[in-house]
Structure 1
Amino acid sequence: MSSPEHKQLIWNLIKEIKFGMLVTHDDLEEKLRGRPMSLVQDEYDGTIYFFTDRTDAKAYEIKRDRDVCLTFADKDDQTYVSLSGKANLTEDKSLIDRYWNKWVAAWFPKGKDDPTLAMLEIKIQSGEHWKADENKLVQLFKIAKANLTDSEPEMGDHETFGK
């Protein structure tokens, strides 16, 4: 899918953002639904993990439609990432032990043995990322220049990957 170097690039873009929006398809109400999720891992190998409650709406939505989208945005750093993949709920105790932390414990006061606790595993298949290199003043200049010359402004790095 993606090279180890590219996976490291994606990780470098999202690891400091920490929170992403998970978008699922709620086919009962025929709408897309997003909610914030917190990264728990300390590296990225093509899979993103989140803790979740197996009785939550997103768990049911994922059981019916495994296609999801994750978005990460840091407006101050002008970094934007969109990742699409297949989600799966797992009760893998080794994953739970590996990623358990005080933040997660606050959401699951019954601990690692909480019967509603699960891991959401998302295998990333494709995505895009954008990273502006210049400050906002330079960007405004480029936009004004593009408007005057009837061209598109060059606003930094953009890449699409996957299928």
Structure 2
Amino acid sequence: MANDDTLTQQDVVQKLRDTDLVMLTTALPDGKLLSHPMAIQGVSEEADVWFFVSLSGGQAEALRSGPEVNLAVAEAGSWLSVAGRAAFVEDRSVVEQLWTDSAEAYFPGGAEDPDLGLLRVSGTSAQFWGLPGGRVAGLAQIVKAKVSGEQAPGGTGTTEL
């Protein structure tokens, strides 16, 4: 992220590529929110995020009930929230391209497992908040700001994707 707190699509893509797991939240028809940890399989330059998901579980049912989702990432001094739209994609060539050995733990039938669904979340906007220098340096700066009466450190940015 630039020093002027400008968040760009490339910043969002890079932060997502540097992340293994996100929390994916979807709204159920009754308005309740449902969140699941998800392993990222790939991130495109356009900020599309790819996941493998079980087609038979409650999560797939929730995703089918409404495409509006949120991805949340929290790590050592930074937080990223990406709003987007989820869609199931029928493309076995993409499944094979994104397939990893670790995915087999969830889908023992491999890339051809009939329960394996391919989900694409297309980001529409993102928000980022972070402490300069990471968590430890940022926390030290917060303590210093409190003692000195200065403004606490941290930058925030929002962008359309």
Flag the 1:61–1:46 CA change in 2: closer, same or farther, 3 A. Answer: same
Q: CA RMSD in A?
A: 2.0
Instruction: Work out whether 1:34 is the aligned partner of 2:38.
Output: no
* Identity in percent: 22
Give the structure 1 partner of residue 3 of structure 2. Answer: none
Displacement after TM superposition at 1:115 (Å): 1.0
TM-score, length of structure 1 as denominator length: 0.83
Displacement after TM superposition at 1:101 (Å): 0.4
Q: Name the SS for the 1:27 alignment partner.
A: coil
Displacement after TM superposition at 1:17 (Å): 2.7
Give the structure 2 partner of residue 16 of structure 1. Answer: 18
Contact persistence 2:23–2:37 (CA under 8 A): yes
Instruction: Work out whether 1:58 is the aligned partner of 2:59.
Output: yes
Give me the whole-angstrom Cα distance separating, in 1, the residues matched to 2:57 and 2:45.
25
Give me the whole-angstrom Cα distance separating, in 1, the residues matched to 2:84 and 2:147.
37
Partner amino acid for 2:120? E
Give the structure 2 partner of residue 158 of structure 1. Answer: 156
Structure 1 window deviating more from structure 2 (130-139 vs 81-90): it is 130-139
Partner amino acid for 2:143? L
Displacement after TM superposition at 1:32 (Å): 0.5
Show structure 2 runs of 5+ residues with no match.
1-6
Structure 1 window deviating more from structure 2 (133-142 vs 99-108): it is 133-142
Displacement after TM superposition at 1:121 (Å): 0.5
| Aligned ranges 1:81-160 → 2 under 5 Å | 81-134=80-133, 135=137, 136-145=139-148, 148=149, 153-160=151-158
Displacement after TM superposition at 1:48 (Å): 0.5
Aligned pairs, number: 151
TM-score, length of structure 2 as denominator length: 0.84
Show structure 1 runs of 5+ residues with no match.
none
- For each residue in 1:116-141, what CA deviation from the matched residue of structure 2 results, as whole angstroms up to 9, or x when unmatched? 11111001001101121141111222
Give me the whole-angstrom Cα distance separating, in 2, the residues matched to 1:56 and 1:90.
17
Contact persistence 2:141–2:153 (CA under 8 A): no
- For each residue in 1:20-69, what CA deviation from the matched residue of structure 2 results, as whole angstroms up to 9, or x when unmatched? 000011225x4101110011116542201100011121211121111000
Contact persistence 1:126–1:160 (CA under 8 A): yes
